[in-house]
């Protein structure tokens, strides 16, 4: 059975690339430019969420991950924060993310992080 990944990014091009690469790697990807899939997380039941810190028109990705990790039902879901920020290691640690991907990212590194955490 394919592992499910919820992918939330602020940039359509990056979202499409990540979605395509992860699908090719055998993941079942739910990709979105909004946090809408996070609100349906119990229905989707992913093994991993990958959230960008700067999502248009909503709370920050780090806040989304912090909420997931502090909710008993979703705290076991692995979470990876993505950002262009140089502070991302600190941000990821503060929101209790399992890992992070600094942008711009190397495709192989992104796949490695997703496989390790999914």
Alpha-carbon distance of 76 to 48, in angstroms, equals 9
pLDDT at site 59 = 87
Is residue 44 scored above 90 in pLDDT? yes
Q: What is the enclosing helix (H) or strand (E) of 14?
A: helix 12-24
Q: From CA 114, how far away is CA 10, in angstroms rounded?
A: 18
The model's pLDDT over 45-90, given as tens digits with 9 standing for 90+, comes to 999 999 999 987 778 999 999 999 999 999 999 999 999 999 999 9
pLDDT for the residue numbered 56: 76
Q: Which CATH superfamily is domain 4-117 in?
A: Response regulator (3.40.50.2300)
Domain-wise residue ranges, the chain: 4-117
What band does 109 get if pLDDT is binned at 50, 70 and 90?
very high
Q: At what angle do helices 12-24 and 107-117 cross, to 10 degrees?
A: 60
Q: Is the dihedral of CA 5, 58, 16, 96 positive or negative?
A: negative
Quick check: pTM over 0.75?
Answer: yes
**Which pLDDT tens digit goes with each residue over 31-42?**
999 999 999 999
């Amino acid at each position: 059975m394919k592992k499910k990944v919820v992918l939330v990014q602020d940039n359509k091009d990056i979202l499409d690339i990540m979605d395509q690469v992860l699908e090719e790697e055998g993941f079942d990807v739910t990709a979105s430019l909004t946090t809408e899939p996070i609100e349906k997380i119990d229905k989707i039941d992913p093994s991993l969420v990958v959230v960008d810190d700067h999502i248009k028109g909503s709370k920050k990705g780090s806040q989304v991950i912090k909420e997931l990790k502090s909710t008993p039902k979703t705290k076991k879901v692995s979470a990876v924060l993505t950002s262009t920020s140089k502070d991302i290691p600190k941000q990821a640690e503060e929101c209790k993310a399992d890992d992070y991907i600094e942008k711009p990212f190397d495709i192989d590194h992104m796949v490695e992080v997703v496989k390790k955490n999914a």
